[in-house]
A and B are shown apart, each in its own frame.
Chain A
Amino acid sequence: MKLHALQRAVARAVMQPLTRSERMQRKAPGGGRMSAYAARFIKPNDRLTSFERLEIYNRQYWFRVLASLAEDYPGLRAVLGGRRFEAMCKAYLTECPSRSFTLRNLGAQLAAWLRQNARWISDRRVLALDMVHLEWAEIEAFDGEAKPPLRSEDLRDADAANLQLAIQPYVQLLDLHYPVDDLLLDVKHGDDIPDRASNAVQERRKHSRVRAVAKLEAAEIFLAVHRLDFSVYFRRIEPEEFALLTALRSGKTVERAIDLAFRKSSVPAADRAAFVQRSFQTWAALGWFCRPEENKRGEKVREKRA
C-alpha cells in the first residue's frame, strides 16, 4: 500500500468520532467492521488487538481537539451548557477538521459553521454567535500583529483632505446584541476559583453560570477587543466610535469616516467636534493607530471607488 493511501485510511479512522462512552466506534469509515479495518493496517501484539492499538490514537485525537476548543470557548460552553457544547464541538470538528498547523486556529470556522448549523444554538442563536465572535476576537487580539504606532511626525506633511489612518491589526471591532463581555468575564472569573474546595463549590459555580446566562438581557453593545501591555481588554465604545473606527479600517479618509460615523447619530452637531477629538485622543493613547499600508510605489492604498 502506498504511503498516501495508508495515511488517508488511518487518518479517517483516527478522526472518526468516538462513541458516547469515549471508545472507538465498532463501525469503520465507509461501513464494515472497524476491527477488520484496523487489522488491514495495524499489527496486533501480545497485549493489544489492532483495534485497540488504533483506538489509542483515535481517543488521543478527540481528547486533544475537544480540550483545545473547550479552552478557547469557555463562554460558548457556558451559553450552551457542557453536554450540548461537547456534542456541538464533535459535529463541528467532524465537518471542519483542523486545516492549520496550529491548534490556535481550530475555531476559525466556528462562527460560520454555527450560522449554517443553527440547530446547535437554536434557542440562543444570537447570544451564542455573539459569544463566538467575542471569543475569536480575543484570540486574534492576544497574538495579532502590532505595527509601528503612528507618530506625530508621520502626520507632519499629511494632506488633511485625504488623510488616512490605519488601525492596529490586533484591535477587533464588534457589534453585538448581548453584553457578552460581562458574561465572559464572569465565566472566566469562575474558572479562576481553585478546584480544591469541594464538589459543592463546583456545583454552585455551575448554577451561578446558568443563572448568569438565563438573566442576560439583549442590549446592543459596541466593543473594541484590544491589548495593552500584552493583556487583552474589552472596551465598550459608542456606536459613532465603532462606525468611525470601522470606516478608518476599511481605508476611508478621516474626513469621510467622520461623515459616516455621524450619519445616524444622536450626538448633537455642536458636540461632534469635541466627541471626535476626545475619541482620537483616547485611541492614540491606547496605541490603536498605525501607519497605513503602502503599496510598491510607496503610495498609500486609496479607498476603492465604485
Chain B
Amino acid sequence: MPGNRFNGFTDYGIGIGLRAPHYDHILSRKPVVDWFEIISENFMIDGGRPLHILDQILEQYKVVQHGVSMYFGSAEKPDREHLRRLKQLVKRTNTPWLSDHLCWGSVDGRYTHDLLPMPYTFEAARLTAQKIREVRDFLEIPIAVENVSSYAEYHVSEMTEWEFLNEVVERADCGILLDVNNIYVSSRNHNFDPLTYIDSVPADRVAQIHIAGHSKFQKYILDTHDHPVIDPVWKLYDRAIQRAGHTATLLEWDDSIPSFQEVHREALKANRFLESKSLAVAV
C-alpha cells in the first residue's frame, strides 16, 4: 500500500529514532537510513547544538517528528507556547506528518512527563478528538496518534482500548501510529488478545508503525525500549503490515542504547516481513 493522507502520501521505509549517542556516527559516516524520527520536544528550543545537529541531519535525511507531551487526552486546552514552538519546528523539518500519543499527562497546568492511560469513555473520546483537530488545524499537517503501553485500567471505561482508538480517530479524522510493541505489552498487562486489537484497527488510517523492545517483570511488562524486538512482537508487526500494507516503520531504542549499527540492524529485520508482503502482492 502506498502512502496515505495521514502520512502525507509518502512512501517511507524503515527508520530509526535519532538519539544523541549516534550523532557522531551519523554525521561522520553518513550511513544509508531511510528516515529518522526525532522527539520534537528535544528540538523545541531557541538555539545551540541540538538545532545545529538537526540542521545537518536535515541536509542528508528525511525526518519525521514524534512528540511526547502534547497530551491529546488531557482535559485542558493545548499549551499555546508548546504549539508555537512545535509549529516553528515543523517549518524547520518539513515533517510530512506528526505523531504524538493517545494519552494524558498534564492536569491544571502541571505536567507528569508520563504517558498516562486514558479512561475509555465517550466523553474522553470526544474531547481528545476535538483537541487533535485543534492541533492539526494550527500546525496544518496530518496528525497520527500512537497507542500507548499501559499498566492500569479504569472502572469508568465504557469500551475496549481499540474501540476507543477507533472512536477517537474517526471523530478527529486523523491517522494512527500503530505501536505493535505497546499492543503486546498492554495485552499481557490486561489479558487481551493482541491480534484482536490489530484486526480492529482501521488499516487505511495507519500512517506509521513503531516496533521496540520491553522489559518483563514478575507481574507485569514495562515498555522500556531497551531491548531487541521479541518474536511475538514481530508476529504482530507481520499481521499489521498484512492489513495496512507497506507502512513507514520505526524502531525505538531509548535506553541502554547500543551502537548505531546494532540499532539499525535490528530495525532492518522488518524488511523480512515487508519483502515477503511485497512478494505476496506480486504473486
Q: Which residues of A contact B (CB under 8 A)?
A: 1-4, 6-8, 10-11, 14-15, 40-43, 45-48, 50, 52-54, 56-57, 60-61, 64-65, 68, 97-104, 142-146, 169-170, 227, 230-231
Name 8 interchain pairs, CB-CB below 8 A, sorted by A. A2-B75, A3-B119, A7-B107, A45-B189, A56-B222, A143-B46, A143-B51, A145-B47
Cβ contacts under 8 Å, A45 to chain B: 153, 189-191
When the two chains form the complex, which single residue of B41, B51, B108, B220 contacts A102, counting CB atoms closer than 8 Å? B41
Using a Cβ–Cβ cut-off of 8 Å, how many residues does chain B contribute to the interface with A? 46
* Contact indicator A3/B155 (Cβ below 8 Å): no
Cβ contacts under 8 Å, B70 to chain A: 101
| Alpha-carbon distance between A65 and B110 when the two chains are bound, in angstroms | 13
Minimum Cβ distance to chain B for residue A261 (Å): 28
* Contact indicator A100/B152 (Cβ below 8 Å): no
Cβ contacts under 8 Å, A142 to chain B: 48-49
Minimum Cβ distance to chain A for residue B113 (Å): 6
When the two chains form the complex, which single residue of A6, A11, A230 contacts B154, counting CB atoms closer than 8 Å? A6
Interface assignment of B151: CB less than 8 Å from any CB of chain A: yes
Interface assignment of B109: CB less than 8 Å from any CB of chain A: yes
Known: A3-B119, A142-B49, A227-B48. A97 touches B74 (CB 8 A): no
* Contact indicator B44/A102 (Cβ below 8 Å): yes
| Alpha-carbon distance between A70 and B107 when the two chains are bound, in angstroms | 25
Count of chain A to chain B residue pairs whose CB atoms are closer than 8 Å in the complex: 128
| Alpha-carbon distance between A102 and B46 when the two chains are bound, in angstroms | 13
Minimum Cβ distance to chain A for residue B116 (Å): 7
Known: A56-B151, A101-B69. A4 touches B114 (CB 8 A): no
* Contact indicator B110/A3 (Cβ below 8 Å): no
| Alpha-carbon distance between A48 and B106 when the two chains are bound, in angstroms | 25
Stretch at the interface among B121-129, B169-177, B236-244: B121-129
| Alpha-carbon distance between A46 and B220 when the two chains are bound, in angstroms | 11
* Contact indicator B104/A7 (Cβ below 8 Å): yes
Interface digits, B142-163 against A, CB 8 Å rule (1 contact, 0 not)?
Answer: 0000000001111110000000
When the two chains form the complex, which single residue of A4, A47, A54, A104 contacts B45, counting CB atoms closer than 8 Å? A104
* Contact indicator A48/B112 (Cβ below 8 Å): no
* Contact indicator A100/B111 (Cβ below 8 Å): yes
Known: A4-B75, A6-B156, A99-B109. A46 touches B116 (CB 8 A): no
B residues 213-242 in Cβ contact with A at 8 Å: 219-220, 222
Minimum Cβ distance to chain B for residue A12 (Å): 9
Minimum Cβ distance to chain B for residue A146 (Å): 4
| Alpha-carbon distance between A247 and B229 when the two chains are bound, in angstroms | 57
Interface assignment of B30: CB less than 8 Å from any CB of chain A: no
Cβ contacts under 8 Å, B127 to chain A: 3
Interface assignment of B269: CB less than 8 Å from any CB of chain A: no
Residue among B79, B112, B127 with most chain A CB within 10 A: B112
Residue among A42, A46, A101, A104 with most chain B CB within 10 A: A101
B residues 183-223 in Cβ contact with A at 8 Å: 189-191, 219-220, 222
Cβ contacts under 8 Å, B79 to chain A: 101
